Structure 1
C-alpha cells in the first residue's frame, strides 16, 4: 500500500470515539489539502474497524454519510456512529457542531 493511504489510515486511527472528521480535514491534516477525494478512495479501501481503521468516522463536510456500498451502506455507518454517541440532525446528517473532531 502506498504511503498516502498509510498516512490516511494513521490519522483516521486518531479520531476519537464519538467524533467525526471530514475527508477534507483528513487531507489537510496529512499535508495534502487538495486530495479529499483521494482520502475517500483510501478509507473505502481500508481494512475497516476490524483492521483498526475506524473509517466510519470520516464523513462529508456537511455531515452526510458515504453513499452506496461503503461501510456496509449509510445505515450501517450511521449505526456504528450512533453506537459511539455521535448525534444526528433531523435530516440524517451528523451534527457537525457537536461531533466534529477538533484535532
Structure 2
C-alpha cells in the first residue's frame, strides 16, 4: 500500500480487494482508507484470486494492477510513466515487471 500511496501520480483511486484473507488485510485496508480518501476498500468472501481481481477491475475506470505477492513497486514514478506512455502511444494497456495499466 505504501508504494502505491507514495506514487508521483496522485489523481488515482486505489481499490484494494480483501477476499477473506486470514492476515487482517481487511483491517489494515480500513486503516489506510481512513487516512487517504483515494482508497476505496472492497471486502468480499473468498471465491478465489481471479474473482477478487475481476471485482477490482469491474469497480475501476482505468487500472494499474500490482500483485502484492510479487513484491512492491519500487519506482515512485512508475505509474506516472506507464500512464503517460499509454496516453502518448494511444494504447489501452502498458505492462512492466508486475504491473499493468488498462485504460477504458
TM-score between the two structures when normalised by the length of structure 1:
0.29
Higher helix share goes to which structure?
A: 1
Decide which structure has the larger Cα Rg and report it.
2
TM-score between the two structures when normalised by the length of structure 2:
0.28
